[in-house]
Structure 1
C-alpha cells in the first residue's frame, strides 16, 4: 500500500487549469522529491493532498484512505510543513506546540514530552520559552518541522520549506528529515532546488501542471547532469 497515491487528478481555478491528469505515488519509507519550477503546480497539488482544496477530478489516497471518502484517517497520518509559515509569531514556541498537540488529541503531558524530543533533535530545545518572532527564519522552520512531527505522523509533506534559508540551514533540515525517512517515515519533499536532490531519491518532475518524469533520481541523469535533464523536461523554466 502506497503512503500516497494520486490517481488522474486534475484541478483548476475558474478557466485556469493548474493540474492535468496527475499520477504519482510515494512508497512507505521513501524520500520522494516533487521537483518543479515556480508555478508548476506543486503547492496546488499539496493543497489537494492535505485537504485544503477538493480535487475536481481523480482520487487521492493516503495509506489507502481516500481524501474525499474517508478524510479523517487519511489526514490523521499526515504531518505538514507548508510553504508559507504558519506559526503564531506572538506565541512562544511551547505554546505553538501545545496548540498543535491539542488539535491532535494529545494530553498536555504527551505534548510536553514529545515537544522536548522533537525540538531537541532540531537543536531548538533551549528556545521553548521564546516568542516565535524572536527566532530567525531558519529556527522558525526547525520549529515548524518539529511541530509537524509532534503527533508522530507516518507521512510528512514539506513544501519549499528551505526557501530563503542559508546553505547550512537548508542542509540541516534535509539531513534531519532524511534520517527520519531511514527510520521509516514516508516523505514528500517539494522543491525547485536541484541541489536538494540525492541520486537515491525517488523523483517526480512536475511542469505546467503535468508529471513530466518519475523514477529514481539517478536514472534521470544517467547520461547527463540533473540540471540538463531538468531543463530539457521543463523547457528551461526555473
Structure 2
C-alpha cells in the first residue's frame, strides 16, 4: 500500500489556479523529493495533504485512508515539518515536545521515551531544558524533526525545512531524514534546492501547479546535468 496516493488533484487560491490535475504516489520506505521553484505549488500541495485545506477536486489517500472521508487514521500516520517554524520560542524543548505528545494521546512515559530517542539521534538532547529562543536555526529545525517523529508516524512530510540553514546544517538534517527511510519511514521532501537531490531519489518536479516530471532523478538528468534538465522543464518556452 502506498504511503501517499494523489489522484487528479486541483485547487485554486482565489482566482489563481495553484494546482492543476496533480497525480503522484509515494511507496513505503521511499525518499521522494518534491522539487519546484518558489510559487510552484509545493506548499499548497503540502497544505492539502496535511488537511489544512480541503481540496476542491481530486483524491488524497494516506496508507489507503482518504483525507476527505476518513481523516483521523490518515493524519495519525503523518508527521509534518512545515516551511514556517512552529515551535513556541518561550517554552523549553521538552515543553514543546510534551505538548505535541499530549495532542497525540501519548502517555508521559511514552513521550519521555521517544523524546529522548529522537533528540539524542539529532544531537540536541543537551538542549532539552533550554528555551527554544536560545537555540540556533539548525537546532530548532532538528527539534522540529524530533517533534514530528514523536508519535511514531509512518510518513513524514518536510516542507523547505533547510531554508536559512548553512551548507553543513542542511546536509546534516537531510542525511538524518534519509537514514530514517532505512527504518521503513516514507518521506516527502519539498525543496527548491537542486543540491539536496541524489540520483536514486524519486523526483517529482512541480511547476506552475502541474507535475512536469515524475520518476528517478538520474533518469531526468541522463542526457544532461540535473540543473539543465530542471531549467528546461521550468524555464520560459521559446
TMscore range, shorter length: over 0.9
> By how many angstroms is 1:236 displaced?
6.0
Q: How do 1:147-226 and structure 2 match up within 5 A? A: 147-226=147-226
Cα RMSD between the aligned structures? 0.9
Q: How do 1:61-140 and structure 2 match up within 5 A? A: 61-140=61-140
Q: Distance in 1 between matches of 2:236 and 2:117?
A: 43
Q: Distance in 2 between matches of 1:222 and 1:182?
A: 26
* Aligned residue in 1 for 2:47: 47
> By how many angstroms is 1:223 displaced?
1.1
Q: Distance in 1 between matches of 2:46 and 2:144?
A: 17
Q: Distance in 2 between matches of 1:236 and 1:155?
A: 35
TM-score (norm 2): 0.98
Residues 104-158 of structure 1: per-residue CA shift (max 9 Å, x gap): 0001111011100000000000100000000010000000000000000000000
Please state whether the residue corresponding to 1:33 is helix, strand or coil. Answer: strand
TM-score (norm 1): 0.98
Which runs of no fewer than 5 residues in structure 1 stay unpaired? none
Aligned residues: 237
Residues 132-190 of structure 1: per-residue CA shift (max 9 Å, x gap): 00001000000000000000000000000000000110011111011101111000000
Q: Distance in 1 between matches of 2:12 and 2:66?
A: 20
Q: Distance in 2 between matches of 1:13 and 1:178?
A: 32
Q: Distance in 2 between matches of 1:121 and 1:152?
A: 14
